[in-house]
A and B are shown apart, each in its own frame.
Chain A
Amino acid sequence: MTKKQIIIALAGNANVGKSVIFNHLTGMHQHIGNWPGKTVERAEGTLHFKGYTINIVDLPGIYSLSTFSIEELISREYIAIENPDLVINVVDASVLERNLFFTLQLIELETPMIVALNQMDMAKKKGIKIDHKKLEKALGVPVIPTVAPSRVGIYDLLQASVNIIEKGKVAPSKVRYGEEVEEKILELINLVGRLRLPYPARWVAIKLLEGEEQIEGKIRQMNPKILSAARRLAEEIEGIHGHSCSTVITSERYEIAGCIAREVQQIVSPIKPPKRERLHGLTTHKLLGYPIMAAVILSIFFGIFSFGDCTSGLLSDIFYGLEPVFENVLGTGIVGELLWGGVVEGLIAGITIALPYLLPFYSVLYFLEDSGYLSRVAFLMDNLMHKIGLHGKAFIPVILGFGCNVPACLGCRIMETKRERLIAVFVVTLVPCAATTVIILGLVGAFVGVQWALLLYAVDLLIIFALGRVAFKALPGEPTGLIMEMHDYKVPHAKTIVKQTLFRLEEFIKMAFPLIIAGSFVIKLVDVLNLLEPIADALSPVTVGWLGLPAITGITLIFGVLRKELTLIMLATLLETSNFAAVPGFGPVQMMVFTLVAMLYIPCISTIGALVKELGWKKALLITVFEIIFAIVIGGIAYRILLLASIW
């Protein structure tokens, strides 16, 4: 039997269980990367079924195939241009109408497809009965009922896919609009039919009537006359309906989706409001919602920090216990020192971040996301986030930032537009992460006073608000508000969470480890070559002259680039004491200034890596340089204010 290759794309709304189906289909053979040149995740996997090698591409979860967000554009271009052999449209049976709106758009793209009618169990619990055979007839494509978490229907899905591919194209029903719209569509089909476009002519005609910029741009290059004809036709429709043509078309498309949904589903209301409805009411409650949220977030942070602190201590003990063994093998010469101090210590640094902190962080994050709680948090915090020019969804990466800036930066992908992403990433790099907290509490908290540590936090939050607002005002583009579906609470699928967590961890390791190791190697090299003192001297106009700090702090701030808490560890090493209060010339004022600078001055090297990944070199460099200068300026001002205030 010859091996045959097929490509199947999974498409559907957000939170319909697409990734669970993806995981069931592909098992261990997965690969997650980015779409070329984009920061949108691309998950791919392979499986073998009845002699076929099937490549599955999991498209991002979206609500429409217009070009509002990068995800939508990517999905559309992938389906239209790369022509997968089949699209499996995963549909949430419990929110049928909204999901069918997307299905209709897929049908319009005239791609061979089948529908996986997922979350049938949720629909049943909500009192919704769906006749999938009827739906199949209405859509003209095969419909397979599935319950992804318990693997119901997964085999049928594959069987149906192979059937379609072997039998050739099925004929999906045409999405028919109102008489006057159809007329205009036909007129335009005649015009665009002759152009060589990678899209179906009817679809192009509809998009032209909707006035979609991407398609308009392409047509303008080919034949600007068609464009003006389309605009004239669109204005005619506008004249008839009193709404813009794109509104009319979207409206009618939703109307069709609604009709089909009403036709195939039967609603028997459940006897009492189900538990998850009450849970939703409670977690978005005007009064109770906030304390519940605070309790959830604080307990997560407390849990992760205690776990992380304990585990990372244990791990470093184990690794540093290996130092004598290592020295025996490589000696204590320059080579040995470079290898241990540069490479191995960098590796240890990476591992003691990744395993104890990031692993639990990501799993909790995905648990909350899959269950639906994160969207409730976004709902509650929307107003506050608007103060810094963002909307509710940005609260999640910001909160993540208090743990570690790296996942927080990557988490900014949930923002829809480039502009929002940039503001969110920028704000996140200013959030004091766990390592910064170590410095604030370990230095200011321990030697100056807890109230002063809290003051530093307050100052940082003020700075975040101020700079967030500046970025919001300064960046071009229209700000977007919150538009989000709050899907029903559900029990997350454990295996999917584990997979997502492991992929995130792998991503972090691939991105940050080389940077941390290279960074610590360079610094060790500088150390071995006895260049630290000259560098500290070179920096002294800034550190001593402007910031009023001991010259030695210049060195520790350089080390802090690797991991921020190294500023404190190196300070203790270089001063040969951890009782900083006893160091002459390093009083409370210096401690405050030093901590303030360490808090703001640079995102650590792993965060810079994440910035490069999300925003590209130019913007990453810009943010880094800005934050260094900003920290120095603020530090110097704080030094002078504290001197004037002469509190100590």
Chain B
Amino acid sequence: MTLPKKRMKKLELPLTRLRDGERGVIISINASSSHRRRRHHRKWGFQKRLEDMGLTPGTKVTVVKSAPFHGPIELQVRGSRLAIGRGMAERILVSVER
């Protein structure tokens, strides 16, 4: 019995942990880190904004690069190029294969 030399593992990471050029699939967006609101109708804020810009669960995103000094992240999503502030990107959970 031999182990495969290179095993691809599925990881769940915040978008900020992706390496430059890496691609992942959005799992979820955490609405508010401090006090999560359960009710669906109370989250018309930044989450709605992200979704309107095309960052919905199931979407493939590629991290192109992040700006230095913990700056925003450049993404390739739905055929367009987006810049997302780091604070927001941290709340986007993606799954990647490594």
Residue positions of A touching B, CB distance < 8 A = 63-64, 66-68, 95-98, 101, 211-213, 216, 231, 234-235, 238, 243-247, 250-251, 254, 258, 261, 280, 284, 286-287, 289, 375, 378-380, 382-384, 386, 391-392, 478, 480-488
Contact = CB atoms under 8 A, between A and B. Distances in A.
Interface of A is mostly: helix
16 contacts: A98-B78, A211-B44, A213-B44, A247-B47, A250-B56, A251-B57, A254-B54, A258-B78, A284-B67, A382-B72, A382-B83, A392-B85, A478-B46, A481-B88, A485-B83, A486-B82
Interface in B52-69: 52-54, 56-59, 65, 67-69
B82 A68 contact: no
Contacts of A284: 65, 67, 74
B52 A63 contact: yes
B41 interface: yes
B53 A485 contact: yes
A235 B83 contact: no
Contacts of B40: 211, 231, 234-235, 238, 244-246
Interface of B: 28-29, 32, 40-54, 56-59, 65, 67-72, 74, 78-88
Contact of A213 (B29, B41, B53, B83): B41
A286 B79 CA distance: 23
A482 to B, nearest CB: 4
Given A246-B48, A286-B65, A386-B87, 13 more contacts: A101-B52, A101-B54, A211-B40, A234-B40, A254-B54, A284-B65, A379-B71, A382-B85, A480-B46, A482-B83, A483-B50, A483-B84, A484-B83
Contacts of A243: 28, 57
A383 B69 contact: yes
A286 B66 CA distance: 8
Contacts of A378: 83
A212 B44 contact: yes
Given A238-B40, A481-B87, A251 B67 contact: no
Contacts of B80: 95, 97-98, 485, 487
A243 B52 CA distance: 15
A485 B81 contact: yes
A501 B83 CA distance: 27
A378 B68 CA distance: 13
Contacts of A95: 79-80
Contacts of B57: 243, 247, 251
A254 B82 contact: no
Contact of A383 (B53, B72, B84): B72
A585 to B, nearest CB: 47
Contacts of B56: 247, 250-251, 254
B52 A64 contact: yes
A188 B80 CA distance: 35
Counting from the closest, the 7 A-B pairs by CB-CB distance are A211-B41, A481-B85, A64-B52, A482-B85, A251-B56, A244-B40, A383-B71
Given A67-B44, A211-B40, A211-B41, A383 B54 contact: no
Contacts of A478: 32, 45-46
B79 A251 contact: no
A546 B32 CA distance: 48
Nearest to B77: A98
A254 B61 CA distance: 14
A216 B79 contact: no
Contacts of B52: 63-64, 66, 68, 101, 250
B78 A254 contact: yes
